[in-house]
Amino acid sequence: MRHKPKFCNATKKSVVILISGRGSNMQALLEADLPCCRFAAVISNKADAPGLVIAERHGIATQVVAHRDYPDRESFDAALAAAIDRHQPDIIVLAGFMRILTPGFVAHYQGRLINIHPSLLPAYGGLDTHERALKDGIKIHGCTVHFVTSDLDHGPIIIQAAVPVRADDTPETLAARVLREEHRIYPQTLRWFCEGHLSLDADGKVLLNRYKQTGHTLISPGLE
């Protein structure tokens, strides 16, 4: 049975994606059914990022703004912003972009800059989230999509997905389980934004007018 193609009832939103490496979340976005999104460009701070090749295969314009070519974070961010602004994006998506952005850069894109992080924020901001979670013996781990602010990994939360932590987990097996959820919730976030259902108000509160609360309790390990 053939599915009818989906159409966009709103003006398409322009999207710029920033990457530093393989771009698996970028690929998930490009391969999702997002008719209200127009991917204008993929920009990397590393010329050898494998994600650039994937973007080109999808017919997306690519560009490299190498951070090593600039003497400090401010000058790099200025060059990066100039590259982004040429595409006049409605939203900028960080998909494994491994640079800490300056407050001025973040303020320039307030309400239009989102990131995905491999933990249930505000727990385990920063790096090595899976190793730290296993060391602490937590039972539920996951991932978070949030608006970016100058407070690293602590911007307003849009959506989260949780997974159980198993007794035999390694950082690699836990990361793989979390990554599968990342590939589900990041396209959902972008769909909400491009369809006009997601925004950030003047007080920094997430507004999501199609949010559906499931009401289910997640317990891990399960009760007998």
Reference 185, options 124, 126, 140, 143; nearest CA is: 143
Give the residue-averaged pLDDT of 107-122.
97
Across all residues in the chain, what is the average pLDDT? Answer: 93
- pLDDT of 9 > 90? The answer is no
Of the pLDDT bands very low, low, confident and very high (cuts 50, 70, 90), residue 125 is very high
Question: How do residues 14-27 score in pLDDT, each as one tens digit?
Answer: 999 999 999 999 99
Reference 169, options 134, 139, 124, 119; nearest CA is: 134
Give domain limits for the chain: 13-208
- For residue 131, what are the CA distances in angstroms to 18, 33, 200, 221? 25, 33, 32, 20
Distance separating alpha carbons of residues 48 and 35, to the nearest angstrom? 30
Provide the CATH number for the domain formed by 13-208 in this structure.
3.40.50.170
Burial class (CB in 10 A: 0-12, 13-18, 19+), 93: buried
- Token readout for 141 is 């781990």
Question: How do residues 153-197 score in pLDDT, each as one tens digit?
Answer: 999 999 999 999 999 999 999 999 999 999 999 999 999 999 999
- Bridge-based pairing state of the strands 140-147 and 157-164: antiparallel
What is the predicted pLDDT for the residue at 162?
A: 96
Q: pTM value?
A: 0.93
Of the pLDDT bands very low, low, confident and very high (cuts 50, 70, 90), residue 6 is low
Which three-class secondary structure state does DSSP give residue 30?
helix
Residues known to be catalytic: 117
